[in-house]
Structure formats: C-alpha cells, structure tokens
Amino acid sequence: MSDESLLLEIVHALEEQGLARDEYQLQRVIDVEALEQLVDSTSPHTELEVWFSVGEFRMVVTPSDVAAVKTS
C-alpha cells in the first residue's frame, strides 16, 4: 500500500470514476480501519483481494492497489 491512507485511496478511486463524495457514505459500506489493518497485516507475497460495493461500483483492495470498477 502507498503512504496515502487506505481511506484516501478508496475515495480517490471513486472520484476517478466520477462519483462525488456526497453520493455515498463509505462508513455504512465498510469498516476502513479494519480493512487497513487486514491489508497491513499481510506479507508481500499474500494474494489478498477484498471486494465490496459502493453504489454502482465494485471496489477491489489488494496489498498494493485500490481500484473501482463500474458495474453494469
């Protein structure tokens, strides 16, 4: 994970897809602090992927990346 907090990485990924911050309440979807602890506890060789939905987007979080994919 980068030096940026996981929360900011998730927000930036959603903004890159055109979703404004006032269009969702992330705290109702996922516990970002718990997710960050999980991701930070993995070794570099772990193939961890956590998927969750935010509105019309599927988020995928790995130890090295955060991505937002629009669902149809």
Phi-psi region of 9 (alpha: psi -120 to 50; beta: other; left: phi over 0): alpha
Q: Is residue 32 part of a domain?
A: yes
Average pLDDT over residues 21-45: 91
Q: Which of 50, 58, 63, 71 is nearest to 13 (CA)?
A: 58
What is the count of structural domains for the chain?
1
Q: In 10 A of CB 26, how many CB atoms?
A: 16
Q: Is residue 18 part of a domain?
A: yes
Quick check: 1 pLDDT over 70? no
Q: Which domain holds residue 12?
A: 6-70
Q: Is residue 58 part of a domain?
A: yes
CA 6/CA 71 separation, integer angstroms? 22
CA 17, distance to chain mean position in Å, is: 13
Average pLDDT over residues 36-48: 89
Q: What pTM was estimated for this model as a whole?
A: 0.86
